[in-house]
Amino acid sequence: MSSEGRILTNKRNAARSTGPTTVAGKLRASRNALKHGLNVSIRHEPGASEKIEHLAAAIACDGPTPQRMQAARDIAEVYLELRRVQQYKLTLIESEATKLHATATDDHGADPTEQVTYKYAQAYLQALSALSKVERYERRVLSRHRRANRAYLIAAGE
């Protein structure tokens, strides 16, 4: 059995741990998990359905069966998701490069190509922490890509 003191302490702690109470605080907390949108299916983006259908038609070629067409849609969706992840990673690196460029000093006499390469290498290193957090989304998409390709080969009878 718990003592009276322990029960009161627990009640006081619980009263402080109720989460946000204001409308602004609740709105902010509701967006905690939304950082980049990579966890949301590409199908929720405007215009994605048309892109998926167009790519699926190109993948399935002439006279596809319904199973083959569905497998082609899955491949097209995963392809677009992979492109979205890669674009996000590139955006992270370019953002760091922009920050470095804003704070960079002019290296007189240095090879301009070498300077650009060095700055992008620095930007990549700065973005590495954020890139490692995105890696799990990319792994998930690549796994889905392998499954979609296998399903298409089965549907195509190969």
Both 26 and 46 in one domain: the answer is: no
Tens digits of per-residue pLDDT, 53-86?
Answer: 999 999 988 778 899 999 999 999 999 999 999 9
Mean local confidence (pLDDT), 14-39: 76
Distance CA 94, CA 100 (A): 10
Taking CA 35 as the corner, what is the angle to CA 32 and CA 41, rounded to the nearest 5 degrees? 110
Distance CA 65, CA 138 (A): 30
Both 52 and 1 in one domain: the answer is: no
Both 135 and 93 in one domain: the answer is: yes
Work out how many domains the chain is built from and give that number: 2
Domain that holds residue 133: 39-156
Both 1 and 66 in one domain: the answer is: no
pTM value > 0.85: no
Burial class (CB in 10 A: 0-12, 13-18, 19+), 81: buried
